[in-house]
Structure 1
Amino acid sequence: MADAITKTLRAGLPDRYLTPDDIATLFSVPLETVYAWRKKRTGPPGFRIGKHVRYDPAKVRAWTESLTEHSAA
């Protein structure tokens, strides 16, 4: 799966909506962590399409930038 993500990278993130597996791979965390972030509303904002959770790459980037800004302060 990581190879698929790497091949589609553009400006740091794939040019498509991301899955929870993609998020886990991108941040090198267990899939369970991604689901815990969603449940606690502490991770990148996701949305549902039917029973599937997806993440907008732009919002994932914004979430990551907010973490780095918060860490620098």
Structure 2
Amino acid sequence: MLSKKNLMSPSEVSQMLGIPEATLYQWTYRGVGPRSFRVGRHRRYRIEDVEEWLEARARGGDHGAA
């Protein structure tokens, strides 16, 4: 079950990744980067999805490469 504790805002993800928040929005528009979804008018990221995306990048995978 999803809880609020499992969700991150774009600001939190950008800080975690060390990238500008605008980059996350560009990745979403282009369909790359960590998986995200909308909750009402707000974009959210599951911590597990961000970590999975990072692991895929570390392994050299092209799963949502920027």
Q: Same fold (TM over 0.5)?
A: yes
2: CA distance, partners of 1:54 / 1:18: 6
1: CA distance, partners of 2:18 / 2:55: 17
Structure having the higher helix fraction is 1
Unaligned residue ranges in structure 1 (runs of 5+)? 1-14
Report how many aligned residue pairs link the two structures: 57
2: CA distance, partners of 1:55 / 1:29: 15
Aligned-partner SS, 1:70: coil
Q: Does 1:40 align with 2:49?
A: no
Matched with 1:6 is none
Q: Larger radius of gyration, structure 1 or 2?
A: 1
Matched with 2:21 is 31
- Could you state the TM-score of these two structures normalised by the residue count of structure 2? 0.79
Q: Does 1:58 align with 2:48?
A: yes
Identity of aligned residues (%): 28
Q: Which has the higher contact order (CA 8 A, sep 6+)?
A: 2
Unaligned residue ranges in structure 2 (runs of 5+)? 62-66
2: CA distance, partners of 1:54 / 1:33: 15
The one of 38, 45, 60 equivalent to 1:70 is 60
